[in-house]
Amino acid sequence: MAGLGKIVFVLFASVYLVQAKHEEYDGHSLYEIRVNDYDQVEQVNAIIDDMNLDRWSFAVPGQDGLVLVAEGMKPLFENALNDIGVEYKIETENIKEKLELEDKILAEAAKMSNFTRSGAGLDLDVIHRWGVVDQYLTDLARRFPNLVRVVSGGRTFEGRDIKYLRISSNNFQTNSKPIVVIQSLLHAREWVTLPVTLHAIHKLVIDVTDQDLIRDIDWIIIPIANPDGYEFTHTNSRFWRKNRRTGFGVCAGVDLNRNYAFNWGTASSNSACSDTFHGSSAFSEPETQLTRTIINQFRNRIALYIDAHSFGSMILFGFGNRQLPSNALILNLVGVQMAQRIDAVKWPAHRNYRVGNIVAVIGYTASGGSSDYVQTMIGQRLSYTFELPAYRGSTGLNGFLVEPGFIRQAGMETWEGIKVAARYVVQNRLTLMNDEVTNQ
């Protein structure tokens, strides 16, 4: 009977943990905000920052924004919006219900899959955990030793390995070959970005239909740039954004996309409780140190850098301080070409991608970003932030929440855009690779 009691207790505890997983979000509402001009943009952003609310997307004229508001903050938030004459509506009354729905349909999708792993690679219709992806990278290097090398880029605050792949037909030995770098999950809650890097790996290693992309380019792919934060979103707090560093009092985590050196600390938060906390110093975190190491090692060969985020259907380039890189026209040209290709294969319900300088598009300055830093290091070459679509399906899930039917599509359509820029790099490699790399 004692053994039976233990089993019952374990089962009860497991059920309780599942039920309690999203309790912190009970009563949180998702607000949709509409602004008429950029004066209202600044006012709304100030309200959100002052109240330390969870901004999901920026409100700009012509595009509504989304903000998650705790139950106790709703009256204050609504009063503040009413005072400045900003329209709003509650898009989701209780986000906890949507979180429970996401858990349910993702679990059902995983069960319907014939496999989680197979000889053909990872199932591209599933959101995989860090441990599965970590092992997959190791297995790929064993299976394809002449094409794939797995690299340990260091360990996180909680001790997880930050692995990435080098994919090359000649082990990175041809210095004239340009390098493309793709990164995802720098922000932990942006689950739908993982299919981007996994799909790229699949098309470069397993289902190779574009031989020129392997012949003419070397690839560096970082699928999970923030392992600790990503795991935390699965086990504890779904909308966690930062890494999991502690030592800042009651609050934890550094926003890794505010921790890079370019303009560090000028348009981010010095409060550890903020989602945009920039950390104690530039490159204070092992996750951002990894990017710096890669850029320094291959600085003269990296021709294209893409940091995949969600959401908003945008392709953005620097700089986050309103200044433009000297090659802004080329960045915009190639960005538009990528967007047009994605738009040609996207789902009709999704809006077309917008392209431009980050401040011009979202109306908000930011510092210490990944793509800004890389742009300063690679000069006249190409550095972008992608913001994937916020899927609104029959389930009503949107924003950071993942609709299973969109997982494979997200990887496929983004890869189509990446290929455009990769081929631009090859076609213009003599100009790009001969440019002297200098800081902007």
Let me know if 279 is exposed, middle or buried by CB neighbors in 10 A (0-12, 13-18, 19+).
Answer: buried
183: β partners:
222, 307
CA 133 to centroid of chain Cα atoms: 16
Set 287, 387, 403, 413: catalytic member: 387
**What DSSP string runs through 228-272?**
HHHHHHHHT-TT--S-----BTTB----GGG-SSTTTTSSSB--T
80's CB contacts (< 8 A; 6+ apart) are 47, 51
- For 361, left (φ over 0), alpha (ψ -120 to 50), or beta? alpha
User: Active-site residue 387, yes or no?
Assistant: yes
Say if CB 165 and CB 220 are below 8 A apart.
yes
Closest of 287, 307, 147 to residue 219, by C-alpha: 147
Measured in Å, how far apart are the chain's first and last C-alpha atoms? 72
Report the C-alpha gap between 321 and 265 in whole angstroms: 12
Number of Cβ atoms within 10 Å of the Cβ of 324: 16
- What amino acid positions are annotated as catalytic residues? 387
